[in-house]
């Protein structure tokens, strides 16, 4: 059976051989999905239209389930995780990093993507984290990048400045409010491709993304896992990765 690059991620979780979903879920014609559409190229608006890797990924899953996808936006990134954990949506998808603490109160699908924490700046004179001694590094609040920058402060003394979303973060860098940013590698690449002359200095912590479900939605999680594997096998997943990340 043909496998793509995500096989290495999928193998990190135990595959289920069967899926039994509740009668109530079978009768529903909707898949209610929490999103945070301000993280390009994963999710973003373009001329008022939702686009992005994850938007197409979950839309294709809903299509294969013969369901209409209904997107529910949260006003900050961590709120999307909370929406899924609390059961306000069927599931959430927005580059949500799987962590041990999050697994205690929510479920994660098969891992469908990985990325890095990237330190980036505009100044070509910077070459590593140590160059930011006494400087300012911007991050998006309520994300794993806040934790990462706080851990880096143990060895380098810099100021952490938090922003609402990645567009604000990018504007702060361009305007000189901060000297550098710590953000998702593929977001940095997107910003660079779309006009910000970013210099990516270091890729540090690796993190893995999964679709998040409330604990009681295990049946739905198992069902979506099967569709993710099907998309891996038939090449749909690879096409989306090439389209948005230019990688197979």
Taking the CA atoms of the chain, what radius of gyration do you get in angstroms?
A: 19
Q: What is the CATH number of the domain that holds 20?
A: 3.40.190.10
Name the β-bridge partners of 241: none
Pair (24, 107) in one structural domain: yes
- pLDDT greater than 50 at residue 9: no
Residues 126 and 55 in one domain: no
Place of tokens 């569709």: 227
Q: Are 164 and 76 in contact (CB under 8 A)?
A: yes
The reported pTM is 0.86
Average pLDDT over residues 87-99: 95
- The answer to whether position 1 is within a domain reads no
The whole-number average pLDDT for the span 8-33 is 52
185 and 239 both lie in a single domain: no
Q: What is the pLDDT of residues 194-236, one digit of tens each?
A: 989 999 999 988 999 999 999 999 999 999 999 999 999 999 9
User: Are residues 123 and 33 part of one domain?
Assistant: no
CA distance 65 to 168: 36
My answer on whether 27 and 59 are in the same domain is yes
Residue closest to 187 by CA, chosen among 59, 44, 76: 44
Residue 122, pLDDT score: 96
- Expressed as residue numbers, the domain containing 139 is 116-207
Q: What pLDDT is stored for residue 27 in this prediction?
A: 63
Give, in degrees to the nearest 5, the angle at Cα 164 between 158 and 165: 100
Verify that 195 and 240 share a domain, yes or no: no
List, in order, residues 6 or more apart from 64 with CB less than 8 Å away: 227, 230, 231
- Whether 131 is in a domain gets the answer yes
Q: Domains in the chain: how many in total?
A: 2
Are residue 195 and residue 216 in the same domain, yes or no?
A: no
CA distance 93 to 83: 11
Rounded Cα–Cα distance for residues 241 and 176 (Å): 33
Task: Give tens-digit pLDDT for 113-132.
Answer: 999 999 999 999 999 999 99
Residue 2 lies in a domain: no
**DSSP string spanning 46-69?**
ETTEEESHHHHHHHHHHHHTT-EE
């Amino acid at each position: 059976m043909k496998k793509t690059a995500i096989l290495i991620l999928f193998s990190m979780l135990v595959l289920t051989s069967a899926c039994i979903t509740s009668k109530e879920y079978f009768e529903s014609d909707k898949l209610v999905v929490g999103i945070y559409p301000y993280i390009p190229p994963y999710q973003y608006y373009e001329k008022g239209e939702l686009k992005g890797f994850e938007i197409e990924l979950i839309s294709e899953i809903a299509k294969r389930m013969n369901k209409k996808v209904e997107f529910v936006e949260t006003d900050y990134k961590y709120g999307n995780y909370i929406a899924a954990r609390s059961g306000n949506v069927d599931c959430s998808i927005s580059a949500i990093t799987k962590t041990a603490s999050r697994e205690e109160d929510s479920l994660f699908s098969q891992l469908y993507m990985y990325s890095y924490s990237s330190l980036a700046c505009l100044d070509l004179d910077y070459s590593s984290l140590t160059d930011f001694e006494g400087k300012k590094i911007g991050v998006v609040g309520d994300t794993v990048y806040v934790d990462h920058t706080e851990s880096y402060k143990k060895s380098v003394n810099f100021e952490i400045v938090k922003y609402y979303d990645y567009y604000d973060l990018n504007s702060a860098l361009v305007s000189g409010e901060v000297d550098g940013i710590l953000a998702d590698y593929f977001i940095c690449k997107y910003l660079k491709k779309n006009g910000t002359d970013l210099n990516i200095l270091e890729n540090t912590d690796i993190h893995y993304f999964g679709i998040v479900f409330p604990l009681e939605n295990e049946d739905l999680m198992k069902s979506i896992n099967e569709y993710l594997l099907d998309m891996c096998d038939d090449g749909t997943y690879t096409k989306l990765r090439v389209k948005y990340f230019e990688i197979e």
